[in-house]
């Protein structure tokens, strides 16, 4: 698999978050994808549950976006250092950071995601 295929899948994931587009975001994943977001929480499996997760995260925001600070592609995977910023529905600004580890399948879809970040830090700002 070319590094461009992996990079395209990862960039589409972050673009969909910035657009707050649930359908586009879910579509970046394989049908049977598994997301560990954050690592240590129960995994989220499949498109339906991923869509519910997306709604849970974005539901508290008027606007939210995550920007890829650095992307490191190797083989079928990528590690991404990112920075998140948003505005809650109450007008509070939030800032949070993390690292995501992606594995992309032959179809160019995210097969697994391991997200290393602290949601409590973000929630404390809301």
> What ranges do the domains of the chain cover?
3-125
pLDDT over threshold 90, residue 126: no
pTM for this entry: 0.95
> Class of the 3-125 domain?
alpha beta
Q: Which residues on adjacent β-strands are paired with residue 78?
A: 73, 102
Contact criterion met (CB below 8 Å) for 100 and 80: yes
pLDDT the model gives residue 1: 85
Average pLDDT across the chain, whole number: 96
Tell me how many helices (H) and strands (E) the chain has.
4, 6
Task: Read off the DSSP letter of residue 46.
Answer: H
């Amino acid at each position: 698999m070319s590094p461009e295929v992996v990079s395209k899948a990862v960039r589409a994931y972050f673009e969909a978050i910035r657009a707050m587009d649930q359908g586009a975001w879910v579509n970046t994943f394989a049908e049977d994808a598994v997301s560990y977001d954050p690592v240590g929480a129960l995994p989220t499996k499949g498109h339906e549950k991923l869509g519910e997760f997306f709604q849970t995260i974005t539901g508290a925001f008027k606007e939210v976006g995550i920007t890829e600070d650095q992307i490191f592609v190797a083989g079928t995977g990528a590690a991404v250092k990112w920075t998140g910023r948003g505005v809650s529905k109450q007008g509070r600004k939030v800032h949070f950071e993390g690292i995501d580890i992606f594995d992309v399948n032959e179809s160019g879809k995210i097969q697994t995601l391991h997200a290393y970040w602290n949601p409590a830090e973000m929630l404390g700002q809301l």
